Amino acid sequence: MRSNNVTAGLNRAPQRSLFMAMGYSPQELERPLVGIAGSANEVVPGHIHLRQVVEAVKAGVRMGGGTPVEFSTVAVCDGIAMNHRGMHYSLPSREIIADSVEAMAEAHCFDALVLVASCDKIVPGMMMAAARLNIPAILVGGGPMLAGEHRGKKIDLNTVFEGVGAVAAGTMPEAELEKILLQACPGCGSCSGMFTANSMNCVAEALGLAIPGNGTIPAVSAARIRLAKEAGVRVMELIRRNLTPQKILNRQAFANALSVDLALGCSTNTILHLQAIAYETGFSLELDRLNDLSRRTPQLCLLSPAGEDHLEDLHRAGGVPAVMGELARAGLLNKSLITVTGKTVEENLHGVSHPDGRVIRTIDRPYRKEGGLAVLFGNLAPEGAVVKQGAVAPEMMVNTGPARVFNSEELALQAIMAGQINPGDVIVIRYEGPRGGPGMREMLAPTSALAGMGLDKKVALITDGRFSGATRGAAIGHISPEAAAGGPLALVEEGDRITIDIPARRLEVSWSEEERAERQARWQSPAVKVGRGYLQRYATQVTSASRGAVLGGEEITQE
């Protein structure tokens, strides 16, 4: 056992003494030590209840014959951090989380890990650490929040964001928005739509790193506690079998995860995170592979923000296993892969319910014939850009309009709220990429304002930043190379004609090669926005969004 390095033998008497100081017994130190990485705090709704989930995991570890050892990581709430300086820290915190789990696991020689987290960057950060460390590990999410209700209609956090735009447009009284904000988020859990947190917890099931039910069992359900106990028991079996993440996270597992991602209509952020997790296993996921999968994987669910259903509805309809079962029956999944249950995908899917035909549709009657995400290429995005095509109105799938150029999210939002954006415009927000932001901020505030003003079917928005999973409309992000790296987005000028053709996977600006070269010669690299601290270090090391915005390191094998 790895833990013998800190618990066994004469030379480790001082280490045992330190464990004894915390109340551990000699018998406990003879068992495998399982690190329980939690992110409970009083800042994030998805994490406020995680102490109870962690205690359930610890009970399961003891039931399985191990000794749980709890420690914590940071967790940023994207909703609270949105549209101000705080959002610069959101994506970079993913690397802090992965590094902190690595540091604790290596410094204290844990034999295995159970990773307890909710919300956007925390879940992928934990999975990155699991892949990097390659010791037995299971992810346990905190579960989705229940949807709110207002005037007989289900609502969620996105309703509040869009309400801000409606108030600004004069179509909603501010007093109505105050009522909505009290009802939109009724309790603990990750925000109730298919936003990034829930997307990643669902995708973790498809990857094989989480137990079936992880993505959809509500945070307030007793079944969530039972799942946590089961994870604690199962991680002990993983130790006995030496079943480690890199035996699970092969290329076929990522293909399964992407197929489920596309069928569910998940957040665009999942692409960044899956690329980062793949990086930790030693290979890359090429963006054009996503288009290949998207062409043949239908979208079977239409969850908020694209539709009216929420995670609780998906759970009642059979959850991720029901979606995977339908994909498997169509030959769109590899069923032979091993998972953290100790069983194969096929064994996990034995006896799962068939689609209900509404929340989860069948292969022959999908919501869309293609998957929920697409990658666009062209002279504005030579390395690619990502769009949640499942949340784009049909009339915006092909669009050409004049560029309205803004060098920050704040400037764009000011123009939107001031009524300076017209139908047909293509809003360009640049210098918000991984390096330029720094931190690749989410653009939920401007996209929600557009939706609240009724412009989401009339105006497109493109950026080298990214979008919340709650964003809907013709919102195209992750444009690479980013503007701060001298990418083509940096050269766009007010009034340039930009063409978006999602079916053809194209993103183009109408300039000649001579004009582009002349602008490139005049372009000057912007000054670094942050001169000290973690963000400054992050900006100097982060790679392109087309590589998952990981911190720079060794080259990796191409997919």
Q: What is the pLDDT of residues 173-187, one digit of tens each?
A: 999 999 999 999 999
* Type of residue numbered 523: W
Residue 362, φ and ψ in degrees, nearest 5: -85, 165
Contact 294, 336 (CB under 8 A): no
Asked if residue 453 has pLDDT above 70, the reply is yes
Average pLDDT on 349-368 reads 96
| Residue 559 predicted with pLDDT over 50 | no
373 and 330 in contact (C-beta within 8 Å)?
Answer: no
Question: pLDDT of 374-406, one tens digit each?
Answer: 999 999 999 999 999 999 999 999 999 999 999
Rounded Cα–Cα distance for residues 266 and 189 (Å): 18
- The owner of tokens 């001298």 is 486
Write the CA distances from 150 to 105, 153, 168, 179, integer angstroms.
Answer: 45, 5, 20, 8
| 34-79 pLDDT, tens digit each | 999 999 999 999 999 999 999 999 999 999 999 999 999 999 999 9
> Is 468 among the residues known to form the active site?
yes
Residues 245, 134: contact at Cβ < 8 Å? yes
Rounded percentage of the chain residues whose pLDDT exceeds 90: 92
- pLDDT over threshold 80, residue 531: no
CA-based torsion, 235, 236, 239, 241: positive or negative = negative
Q: pLDDT band at 556, cuts 50/70/90?
A: very low
**Integer Cα distance of 75 and 39 in angstroms:** 6
Angle among Cα 494, 499, 504 to the nearest 5 degrees reads: 160
State if pTM tops 0.85.
yes
Please give the average per-residue pLDDT across 504-522, as a whole number.
95
CA 170 to chain centre: 33
**What share of residues in the chain are helix, strand, coil (percent, to 5)?**
45, 15, 40
Averaged pLDDT, 533-540:
94
Q: Please state the three-class secondary structure of 424-480 as a single string.
A: CCEEEECCCCCCCCCCCCECHHHHHHHHHCCCCCCCEEEECCECCCCCCCCEEEEEE
Report the pLDDT value the prediction gives residue 552, as an integer from 0 to 100.
Answer: 81
Catalytic residue among 294, 468, 544, 546: 468
pLDDT on residue 553: 57
- Give 475's strand partners: 461
Tell me the β-bridge partners of 466: 442
Residue the block writes with tokens 């009802």? 183
* Peptide bond preceding 92 in cis form (omega within 30 of 0): no
Residue 558 clears pLDDT 80, i.e. is over it = no
pLDDT computed for residue 525 by the predictor = 86
**d(Cα 345, Cα 15) in Å, to the nearest integer?**
41
CB 472 within 8 A of CB 451: yes
